[in-house]
Chain A
């Protein structure tokens, strides 16, 4: 007779997917879980060995290798080890585009009241250095941060100067629409090895439609090419946001990325913040997004089969959680949630928010996730009353609807999203778009593994190996 170890299960495609506490999975025929729980698996069955090897059952009440299992659990949650590593600085709310789905509530170019001051920047940098993390990412966002070259330079020089004492490894990232990549900006990027993260929504007509400008695409592509020439080809990455219009063109969007020399894409759904809140029927949108995602992924798999290496980054992140023992740095797929634990936002006006989405809510007058001001003490911001309240419900292992889900290890918790879409941080999984989208994508990846294993697994493994996670 054997003992059970903690695991969860889900039915899919006439199979049962068993996932243990550290994310190892087994795909078994239907009714197997009942046989396992009823202690009917015989010792001479191949399944018995698999269940024992992968920590679904054990012969002793406490597994001999429980310390190893605990180490693996700790590895799965290693993103918690060093606390907040990603520090987002919103240099300005001003922008030079007019995106139909703008999630950041950008302002007109001349409204200087929406710029961060040097005093706020210095205080925010001091807070950043209080983080215990040995490596920090300083990400500059907007609005459009390239409209603030002097503040950008000031921020980096200040961080470099202060880092002579702290000796941390700092990565700089400029999130820009690439419209305004002037020589001044690019010189800063060369000098301090600043990575550029830009956005490209697809082919020319679609990109221009989404940006609300007739010439945005040509400016962006010129900007990308200029940055590649000056900084190096691999120093600029792009992501797309799928507007309602984008959902009609999965293959065309992938092809436009290929034509522009990219070997990966992040298929990103709209988030219900900023202008996007007024955008569409969200339930219908997410249903269509899943169809779009499946079609795009099929096209990407076909490209890979034909010898063209091309990665879908969101799938690669989930697959890394499914197929490896390691954690990932992507905050949307972390539990405990990535907010505060992994990311913090210093807004242009000096207020500190739990995440990028939190400050987007604030632009609509909702300050629920405002943790305080940069002038406040580090402990009161990162461990204060608000952080503690959020902390009560930020682990999906402990909340209704998630705690029994087989995919809990692969998914993440998002109290901000719950709050913005459902009115409370705890959330309600049966109507949660976050749950629906993630669950369906994870199920689709498992379906591919079940039905097209020999075809897709080598491709998925190459993606994982090429991705930093």
Chain B
């Protein structure tokens, strides 16, 4: 995280270097913020992502501000770590699931609908 500032009573602005924390890592971190915050995300330049978090129901206290700062930092690091594990183990996970569940010619394709409205 490059910066983390309060810009209004209920708004926080943070900037993140996408060469350090990629799009997937930022998305997963922000996903869990959405129960309490509206998320506004734009690119400041090629590398820096600008994110504004607007608290939905209340202002942000000083205590919450520091807690949030630590939490987002920790979540970015943790999701980056998970991303490294996911990337490095993707093939072995695929092999594992194929070995566990594919039954060769017995496999039947039920032609899942492409235009699913789920």
B2 at the interface (CB under 8 A from A): no
A389→B110 contact, CB < 8 A: no
A12 at the interface (CB under 8 A from B): no
Nearest A residue to B32 via CB reads A430
Given the known interface contacts A4-B89, A383-B110, the answer about A392 and B97 at a Cβ–Cβ threshold of 8 Å is: no
Please give, as numbers and ranges, the residues of chain B lying within 8 Å of A401 by CB-CB distance. Answer: 31-32
Interface residues of B in 59-103 (CB under 8 A from A): 74, 78-79, 81-82, 84-86, 88-89, 92-93, 95-97, 99-101
Please measure, in the bound complex, the distance between the C-alpha atom of A362 and the C-alpha atom of B110, giving whole angstroms: 27
A37 at the interface (CB under 8 A from B): yes
Most chain A CB within a 10 A radius of its CB, from B74, B92, B110: B92
B118 at the interface (CB under 8 A from A): yes
B100→A71 contact, CB < 8 A: yes
Q: Is the interface of B mostly helix, strand, loop or mixed?
A: helix
B99→A389 contact, CB < 8 A: no
B88→A74 contact, CB < 8 A: no
A73→B96 contact, CB < 8 A: yes
Please measure, in the bound complex, the distance between the C-alpha atom of A392 and the C-alpha atom of B33, giving whole angstroms: 26
Please measure, in the bound complex, the distance between the C-alpha atom of A70 and the C-alpha atom of B35, giving whole angstroms: 37
B6 at the interface (CB under 8 A from A): no
A69→B89 contact, CB < 8 A: no
B34 at the interface (CB under 8 A from A): yes
Min CB gap A436→B, angstroms: 10
Given the known interface contacts A74-B100, A404-B79, the answer about A389 and B93 at a Cβ–Cβ threshold of 8 Å is: no
A6→B100 contact, CB < 8 A: no
Please measure, in the bound complex, the distance between the C-alpha atom of A63 and the C-alpha atom of B96, giving whole angstroms: 10
Interface residues of B in 95-116 (CB under 8 A from A): 95-97, 99-101, 110, 112-113, 116
Given the known interface contacts A389-B118, A404-B79, the answer about A66 and B35 at a Cβ–Cβ threshold of 8 Å is: no
Interface residues of A in 261-275 (CB under 8 A from B): none
A389→B117 contact, CB < 8 A: yes
B92→A5 contact, CB < 8 A: yes
Given the known interface contacts A66-B99, A400-B31, the answer about A388 and B110 at a Cβ–Cβ threshold of 8 Å is: yes
B34→A430 contact, CB < 8 A: yes
Min CB gap B117→A, angstroms: 7
Interface residues of B in 6-59 (CB under 8 A from A): 28, 31-35
Given the known interface contacts A4-B88, A430-B34, the answer about A73 and B118 at a Cβ–Cβ threshold of 8 Å is: no
B84→A6 contact, CB < 8 A: no
A62→B95 contact, CB < 8 A: yes
Please give, as numbers and ranges, the residues of chain B lying within 8 Å of A430 by CB-CB distance. Answer: 31-35
Please give, as numbers and ranges, the residues of chain B lying within 8 Å of A33 by CB-CB distance. Answer: 81
User: Which of B35, B96, B110, B113 interacts with A21 by CB under 8 Å?
Assistant: B96
Min CB gap A438→B, angstroms: 16
Please give, as numbers and ranges, the residues of chain B lying within 8 Å of A7 by CB-CB distance. Answer: 85, 89
B89→A6 contact, CB < 8 A: yes
Please give, as numbers and ranges, the residues of chain A lying within 8 Å of B74 by CB-CB distance. Answer: 11
Q: Is the interface of A mostly helix, strand, loop or mixed?
A: mixed
Q: How large is the interface on B (under 10, 10 to 19, 20 to 34, 35 or more residues)?
A: 20 to 34
A393→B118 contact, CB < 8 A: yes
A452 at the interface (CB under 8 A from B): no
Please measure, in the bound complex, the distance between the C-alpha atom of A11 and the C-alpha atom of B93, giving whole angstroms: 23
A385 at the interface (CB under 8 A from B): yes
B113→A67 contact, CB < 8 A: no
Min CB gap B109→A, angstroms: 11
Please give, as numbers and ranges, the residues of chain B lying within 8 Å of A192 by CB-CB distance. Answer: none
User: Which of B33, B99, B112 interacts with A70 by CB under 8 Å?
Assistant: B99
A322 at the interface (CB under 8 A from B): no
A140 at the interface (CB under 8 A from B): no
Nearest B residue to A3 via CB reads B88
Nearest A residue to B97 via CB reads A73
A74→B110 contact, CB < 8 A: no
Min CB gap B36→A, angstroms: 8
Interface residues of A in 1-48 (CB under 8 A from B): 3-9, 11, 21, 33-34, 37
Cβ proximity bits A55-75 to B, threshold 8 Å, 1 near / 0 not: 000000111001101110110
Please measure, in the bound complex, the distance between the C-alpha atom of A37 and the C-alpha atom of B81, giving whole angstroms: 7
B113→A389 contact, CB < 8 A: yes
Please measure, in the bound complex, the distance between the C-alpha atom of A33 and the C-alpha atom of B99, giving whole angstroms: 27
A447 at the interface (CB under 8 A from B): no
User: Which of A5, A69, A392 interacts with B112 by CB under 8 Å?
Assistant: A392
User: Which of A4, A66, A426, A428 interacts with B96 by CB under 8 Å?
Assistant: A66
Please give, as numbers and ranges, the residues of chain B lying within 8 Å of A431 by CB-CB distance. Answer: 35
A90 at the interface (CB under 8 A from B): no
Please give, as numbers and ranges, the residues of chain B lying within 8 Å of A400 by CB-CB distance. Answer: 31
Residues of B within 8 A of A (CB): 28, 31-35, 74, 78-79, 81-82, 84-86, 88-89, 92-93, 95-97, 99-101, 110, 112-113, 116-118
Extra inter-chain contacts (11) besides given A6-B86, A430-B34, CB under 8 Å: A11-B78, A34-B81, A37-B85, A63-B92, A70-B99, A73-B101, A383-B110, A385-B113, A388-B110, A388-B112, A389-B113
The 6 closest A-B pairs by CB, nearest first: A70-B99, A430-B35, A70-B100, A73-B100, A6-B89, A6-B93
**Pairs across A and B, CB under 8 Å, 26 listed:** A3-B88, A4-B85, A4-B88, A4-B89, A5-B92, A9-B81, A9-B82, A21-B96, A37-B85, A62-B92, A63-B92, A66-B92, A69-B96, A73-B101, A383-B110, A389-B117, A390-B118, A391-B112, A392-B112, A392-B118, A393-B118, A401-B32, A404-B28, A404-B79, A428-B34, A430-B32
